[in-house]
Amino acid sequence: MDFCLDGSVFATAGTDRHIRLYDSCTMQLFHTLEAPDFMTGDVAVTSGASRRIFALRFHPQENHIFLTGGWDNSVKVWDKRIRKEAQRVINGPHICGPGLDIWGHCVLTASWVPRNALQLWDLRTSQLQKNLPFPGGHTQGQFLYAAQFCDPDTVLAGGSGTCGAGVIRISTHQVLGQILLPHKPVQAVAVACGGCVVAVAGVGGNLHIADLC
């Protein structure tokens, strides 16, 4: 679930693959972007999610644009004014948690895959910009669930491969810090306004809050 820029609308998505838009003042559902119906041959790549949706994020500077991602190995770009289909598709990310964020024209994805799990994409072209290295051994794999921008050049991500989270500088690929959980996957990350305080949470009641100095 996420709110649009001016707070007037929020959207939800999940297991049934439908995307529901609500008026935040009245709390009433006003539109549903329905998942494709395979029985009728509605299988166009822009028609909606073919499998469960795990992440939904509105653009922080564009009031009408939002993105969804999940098990169908894609991120779909939507405009809430257009009531039927996605406007663009980013092919590749296998998202299994809140592993989707936006900064300007840059899309950050965290995929539950062993390698190249943390990626940056161009929102305008749907093309891959770069793979970001995530700390951990080759035997563990990366397997990320969550990711978020701290600022335009810094990201926070975590998952089950290393049972930890890392803060990574985009321009240099430097790992600025890590939080490791005791053999428990990281399932959620959050960044406070300004990007200087981060939170990492996972299975077993683990919650860690840290300052980025």
Beta strands in the chain (DSSP E): 2-3, 9-13, 19-23, 28-33, 53-58, 65-70, 74-79, 88-91, 100-103, 106-110, 118-122, 128-132, 144-151, 154-159, 164-169, 175-180, 186-191, 197-202, 206-211
* CA-based nearest residue to 118, from 132, 107, 130, 128: 132
Range of the domain at 24: 2-150
Indicate whether 74 belongs to any domain: yes
Q: Return d(Cα 190, Cα 202) in angstroms, integer.
A: 12
**89 to 1, 42, 175, 179, 191: CA distances (angstroms):** 20, 16, 30, 33, 26
pLDDT at residue 91 is higher than 90 = yes
Q: Of residues 77 and 135, which shows the higher confidence score? A: 77
Indicate whether 184 belongs to any domain: no
Indicate whether 204 belongs to any domain: no
At a CB cut-off of 8 Å and minimum separation 6, what does 138 contact?
none
Token reading at 80 = 């809430």
Indicate whether 210 belongs to any domain: no
> What's the pTM?
0.93
Neighbouring C-beta atoms of residue 108, cutoff 10 Å: 24
Indicate whether 129 belongs to any domain: yes
CATH at residue 63: 2.130.10.10
Indicate whether 139 belongs to any domain: yes
Token reading at 89 = 């598709």
At a CB cut-off of 8 Å and minimum separation 6, what does 210 contact?
177, 179, 197, 198, 199, 200
Indicate whether 34 belongs to any domain: yes
Backbone angles phi, psi at 39, to 5 degrees: -70, -25
Indicate whether 173 belongs to any domain: no
Q: 117-160 pLDDT, tens per residue? A: 999 999 999 999 999 999 876 778 999 999 999 999 999 999 99
Q: 6-63 pLDDT, tens per residue? A: 999 999 999 899 999 999 999 999 999 988 776 555 556 566 677 899 999 999 999 9
Number of structural domains (the chain) is 1
**90 to 4, 47, 108, 126, 187: CA distances (angstroms):** 21, 14, 11, 5, 23
